Chain A
Amino acid sequence: MKSETLATILFLTFVALTLVITFWASRQTKTAADYYAGGRSFTGVQNGLAIGGDYMSAASFLGIAGIIALSGYDGFLYSIGFLVAWLVALLLVAELMRNSGKFTMADVLAFRMSPRPVRTAAGVSTITVSIFYLLAQMVGAGALVGLLLGITSPSGKAWTIVGVGALMIVYVVFGGMKGTTWVQIVKAVLLMTGAALITILVLAHYGFNLSSLLGDAATQSGKNGNFLIPGLKYGTEAQGLAGKIDLISLGLALVLGTAGLPHILIRFYTVPTAKDARKSVLWGIGIIGVFYLLTLVLGFGAAALVGSKAIAASDKAGNTAAPLLAKAIGETFLGSAGGTILLALIGAVAFATILAVVAGLTLASSSSFSHDLYAHVFRRGNATEREEVLVARVSAFVIGAVAIGLGILAQGQNVAFLVALAFAVAASGNLPAILYSLFWKRFNTAGAVSAIYGGLISALLLVIFSPVVSGSETALFKTAHFNWFPLSNPGIISIPLGFLFGYLGTVLSKEYNAAKYAEIEVRSLTGVGAEKATEH
């Protein structure tokens, strides 16, 4: 049997299993709290796994392993930013949000503000961030099928995107948060198991001696010692000072963006209490941390056993490093059949990964559209629960359809920057608004609106005028030149701007509600009046 066939069978098994879960979840989903927050009845451990499932995207699995395989140490730098970021979520955001919000990020922001302008801003930002992220994943899915399932024709790729999109729509529309969370849990377990298996085989091949694995990787890469230190991809010596500042800018967006990503924030609402939210982040940190340690071995293992040249020949960005390594290590231990099986396994896991992440993003954006924009802005809080859930389902369908269309149109474009952009917008617009809301007495409507729009627009503008959009070899528009902003990552400018806009907006407006601040402060720290889990 060919590896592609086996991978397809494994993947279809995953699809069948998740569809059964979705069907089960749809019968359990009756109220708005069921649809948006899975009835708030997941345990800390379950939600911790789901956090891992939502967070470990194909970009961080295949992408980071690929960067390490081609550029060595720099891929590790990326994963460290992704991990440390969780401390911001744990210490400052998770529990307080669980205590004071209901379904979306905007619930917390609008708590003591004038609801319509703040919910509009938060909804716009949520949908923008989620769609950027979603689009990057969809385009990635199209590129991956060619490599993993042997589908190379443009129409074959387009149909794969339609398939991925259709499944994601089914999960979200029918399963709501309950179905989507279980899909994340299954995916997280599969991904961790697959990555751990390959890692153990690679380490066993080197007699569990990390030093000799690294030595082999450095030699095979042809870059020797430089392969094991930072600087081959980010902030290279050739890029000079701008490159190094860009590195810091990327680091800031990674570490501050996570706690502002809407699809991550709504995870905190799926557990019964703030203590469970804390526990779920602790589990999430453990799972994500171990996962990035595994990708370190996968990346260097791929460089050592497959070779950087063979990886770059298969895919310029290195996205196939992990699958190629699975094949090579399988052949080493179990002959050609072993190679086929492991390659198929990793291919199927990669697809499960993409599917779960796009479902989480679709849920976050459709929830915000329905709960924030439709129910609170358009209907001014007069929508019934049934109506709101119906609108959420319809908008999940529409957002899914739009993502499919854009994903097909953007095939072959280099849209990897969209993930970094999503993090930058989350760090520049959402995070300042969330932190000010929770901790600053004086904060008000004008402050919230200016932080979100200010951060969002400055991040967007800086990216539009950066080398990722025009004027470089890897840009979206290679021949046009409007790249007057030298950095690829806007964070170092746009994050402080977001905080500054939030501050100025606040002090320039006289509005201030002491009673409501007392309420959010008491509620967020003590859990008074926090939304309860629903009983079934």
Chain B
Amino acid sequence: MTTDKHDASVYEEIQRSAEFQDLKRRFRRWTFPMTAAFLVWYLLYVVLSGWARDFMGIKLFGNINVALVFGLLQFVSTFAIAWAYSRHAEKHLDPIADKLRHEVEEKIQ
């Protein structure tokens, strides 16, 4: 994809627009803290697996112990975050992104 001067200035113009800044903020405000959160949650699990084995071995019901429940919760949180992200993107990101895309494509042509 080649880009001439004219296109480049269109991109800079869009980048400065309030609408694009809003899109960028909505994207980053959701994904950056969420990434930090699931990484910390995962590392907590790994650290407890290394250093808190007595705790992990506590039986909750039958032979189901804390380690197993903690591990399964990692699955639950992964599924939940993936689902929540797709909801967030569909509701709060896609409409703005689609609108901006149409605008830019008109300007470039």
A282-318: CB near B (< 8 Å → 1, else 0) gives 1001100100110000000000000000000000000
Interface string of B41-58 (1 = CB under 8 A from A): 011011101110100110
State whether A519 touches B3 (Cβ < 8 A): yes
Partner of A289 from the list B79, B94, B105 (CB cut-off 8 Å) is: B79
| Contacting residues, chain A, for B42 (C-beta < 8 A) | 80-81, 84, 251, 255
Q: In the bound complex, what is the Cα–Cα distance between A375 and B48 (angstroms)?
A: 49
Q: Which residues of A, 244-282, contact B by the 8 Å Cβ criterion?
A: 244, 247-248, 251-252, 255, 275, 278-279, 281-282
Q: Which residues of B contact A522 (CB under 8 A)?
A: 11, 14-15, 20, 100, 104
Set of chain B residues within 8 Å of A401, measured between Cβ atoms:
none
Closest chain-A Cβ to B67's Cβ sits at a distance in Å of: 5
- CA–CA, A218 and B105, complex, Å: 62
The CB with the most chain A CB atoms within 10 A, among B64, B67, B108, is that of B67
Closest to A217 in B: B63
Question: Is B7 touching A286 in the complex (CB atoms < 8 A)?
Answer: no
Which residues in B have their C-beta under 8 angstroms from that of A525? 20, 23-24, 27, 93, 97
A39 to B75, CA, bound (A): 33
Would B64 and A528 count as touching, CB distance under 8 A? no
Tell me, in angstroms, the Cα distance from A86 to B42 when the chains sit together: 12
Tell whether, in the assembled complex, residue A528 and residue B104 are in contact, meaning their CB atoms are under 8 Å apart.
Answer: yes
A518 to B15 Cα, complex, angstroms = 6
Contact A527-B15, Cβ < 8 Å, known A91-B35, A228-B65, A289-B75: no
**B75 & A83 in contact (Cβ 8 Å cutoff):** yes
- Shortest A101–chain B CB gap in Å is 10
Is A516's CB under 8 angstroms from B35's CB?
no
A91 to B89, CA, bound (A): 10
CA distance A404 to B86 in the complex (A): 42
Question: Does A76 interact with chain B (Cβ within 8 Å)?
Answer: yes
- How many angstroms from the CA of A81 to the CA of B75 in the assembled complex? 10
- A193 an interface residue at 8 Å Cβ cutoff? no
Please provide the chain A residues from 231 to 251 with a CB less than 8 Å away from any CB of chain B in the complex. Answer: 231, 235, 244, 247-248, 251
Number of A-B contacts (CB under 8 A): 160
- A229 and B67 contact, Cβ closer than 8 Å, known pairs A528-B100, A528-B104: yes
Q: A248's contact among B7, B14, B43, B101, by CB below 8 Å, is which?
A: B43
How far is B81's CA from A131's CA once the two chains are assembled, in angstroms? 33
For B15, the chain A residues whose CB sits under 8 A away are 518, 521-522
In the complex with contacts A90-B82, A526-B104, A278-B89 CB distance below 8 A: yes
Residues of B contacting A225 with CB < 8 Å? 57
For the complex, count residues of B whose C-beta is within 8 A of A.
Answer: 56
Query: Given the complex of chains A and B, what is the CA–CA distance between A95 and B27 in angstroms?
Result: 12
CB 8 Å contact bits of B1-30 with A (1 = contact, 0 = none): 101000111011011000010011001000
Chain B hits for A88, CB < 8 A: 35
The contact of B75 among A228, A230, A293, A527, by CB within 8 Å, is: A293
Task: State whether A289 and B78 are in contact (beta carbons under 8 Å apart), knowing that A244-B51, A251-B42, A525-B24 are contacts in the complex.
Answer: yes
Q: Is the interface of A mostly helix, strand, loop or mixed?
A: helix
**Cα A523 to Cα B11 with chains together (Å):** 8
**In the complex, which residues of chain A have a beta carbon less than 8 angstroms from the beta carbon of B64?**
210-211, 214
B100 with A228: CB separation less than 8 A: no
Q: Of B68, B81, B97, B104, which one neighbours A228 at CB under 8 angstroms? A: B68
User: Which B residues, 57 to 98, have Cβ-Cβ distances below 8 Å to chain A?
Assistant: 57, 61-65, 67-68, 71, 74-75, 78-79, 81-83, 85-86, 89, 93-94, 97-98
The interface residues of chain B lying within 8 Å CB-to-CB of A211 are 61-64
Q: Does A196 contact B (CB under 8 A)?
A: no
**B3 close to A87 (CB less than 8 A):** no
The answer to whether A519 and B11 have CB atoms under 8 Å apart is: yes
Q: Hey, which chain A residues are within 8 Å of B8, CB to CB?
A: 515-516, 518-519
Closest chain A CB from B12 CB (angstroms): 4
B89 contacts across to A, CB distance below 8 A: 95, 278
The CB with the most chain B CB atoms within 10 A, among A83, A281, A525, is that of: A525
Answer yes or no: A529 CB below 8 A from chain B CBs. Answer: yes
Cα-based distance from A522 to B42 in the complex (angstroms): 32
Q: A86, A92, A528: which contacts B35 (Cβ < 8 A)?
A: A92
A508 within 8 Å of B (CB atoms): no
Most A-side CB within 10 Å, residue of B42, B50, B67: B50
Residues 33 to 83 of chain A near chain B (Cβ within 8 Å): 73, 76-77, 80-81, 83
Cβ A80 vs Cβ B75 within 8 A: yes
Residues of A within 8 A of B81 (CB): 87, 91
Chain B residues with Cβ below 8 Å from A278 are 86, 89
- Give min CB distance, B30 to chain A, whole Å: 8
Report yes or no: A235 in contact with B101, Cβ–Cβ below 8 A. no
Query: In the complex, which residue of chain B has the Cβ closest to the Cβ of A219?
Result: B63
Task: Indicate which residue in B61, B71, B97, B105 contacts A76 across the interface (CB closer than 8 Å).
Answer: B71
Distance (whole angstroms) from the CB of B72 to the closest CB of chain A: 8
Set A228, A231, A528: member contacting B63, Cβ < 8 A: A228
Indicate if the CB atoms of A247 and B31 lie closer than 8 Å: no
Name the residue among B3, B93, B97 with the largest chain A CB count within 10 angstroms: B97
Asked whether, in the complex, the Cβ of A527 is within 8 Å of the Cβ of B31, the reply is: no
Taking A214-B63, A516-B3 as known contacts, 15 extra A-B pairs with beta carbons closer than 8 A to each other, sorted by chain A number, are A80-B74, A81-B46, A83-B74, A209-B62, A210-B64, A211-B63, A230-B50, A255-B39, A255-B42, A289-B75, A519-B8, A522-B104, A525-B20, A525-B93, A526-B97
The 6 closest A-B pairs by CB, nearest first: A211-B62, A230-B49, A244-B50, A251-B46, A214-B63, A515-B8
Interfacial residues, chain B to chain A (CB-CB below 8 A): 1, 3, 7-9, 11-12, 14-15, 20, 23-24, 27, 31, 34-35, 38-39, 42-43, 45-47, 49-51, 53, 56-57, 61-65, 67-68, 71, 74-75, 78-79, 81-83, 85-86, 89, 93-94, 97-98, 100-101, 104-105, 108
